[in-house]
Amino acid sequence: MSEISSKWNERYANSGHPLPAVADVLLKGEHWLPGTASERPSMAALDLACGRAANGEWLAQRGFHVSAWDISKNAIADIQQRPASRVAVAQVRDLEKQPPLPHSFDVIIVCRFLDRTLCQAICEALKPGGILFYQTFTHGLSNPDFLLRSNELLSLFASLSILEYHEPEPDESGKAEARLIARRQD
Ligand SMILES: C[S@@+](CC[C@H](N)C(=O)[O-])C[C@H]1O[C@@H](n2cnc3c(N)ncnc32)[C@H](O)[C@@H]1O
């Protein structure tokens, strides 16, 4: 087992806690979700590096066929064992070794996860017209590798059409998260 998966397995060892809050990028950007109620069950959404998949559940409640992927087997077991889960496919997956395939998703949500080497694959994994919702930290983490620089999401996803971008100032705890919503055109 890799060091990363061990670390996250420990973090997710205790299931039964309430799910974390749904990401602001989804709550505030809900109007950008594609599809009508009757279209969404055949539209694929991915909660990438999902953790306990609060965001995936929220998308499933809005009608999408949701896949939730994470390197932590404990996080995925938590989803699979949750009686009320509406996530269709919960899968243990190391995204560095198995990134998403091209043209496979209508919606992708990435929250509080940053691997710059995956950004190209994330763009390509969107179907034409597909929407990316991305939210992660600009301030407030001890490891600078996982912090975005100012406007960095805009350059990482420059091949997409940007629909919304917000980069708030740090809150009283010193944390801040940038939010990007973008569409694949072709
Ligand atoms: C800070 S948590 C965020 C979880 C979730 N997106 C959320 O917002 O609640 C980061 C997640 O990334 C996952 N992760 C880290 N490296 C990964 C990798 N190489 N492949 C898949 N998942 C990974 C961890 O297991 C963890 O669940």
Domain that holds residue 33: 3-9+19-176
Query: Does some domain include residue 83?
Result: yes
Q: What is the maximal distance between C-alpha atoms in the chain?
A: 44
Instruction: Count other Cβ atoms within 10 Å, centred on residue 160.
Output: 22
Q: Ligand 1 center to residue 49 CA distance, Å? A: 4
Query: Does some domain include residue 100?
Result: yes
pLDDT in the model for residue 184: 98
The percent of residues in the chain predicted with pLDDT above 70, rounded, is: 99
Ligand 1 first shell, C-beta below 6 A: 4, 8, 20, 49-51, 54, 70-72, 75, 93-96, 111-113
Q: What is the CATH number of the domain that holds 157?
A: 3.40.50.150
Query: Does some domain include residue 91?
Result: yes
Query: Does some domain include residue 84?
Result: yes
Overall domain count for the chain: 1
18 pLDDT tier (thresholds 50, 70, 90): confident
Q: What is the pLDDT of residues 58-94, one digit of tens each?
A: 999 999 999 999 999 999 999 999 999 999 999 999 9
Q: Which residue has the tokens 């998260």?
A: 177
The answer to whether residue 57 scores a pLDDT higher than 80 is: yes
Q: Is the dihedral of CA 173, 13, 2, 109 positive or negative?
A: negative
Query: Does some domain include residue 183?
Result: no
Query: Does some domain include residue 52?
Result: yes
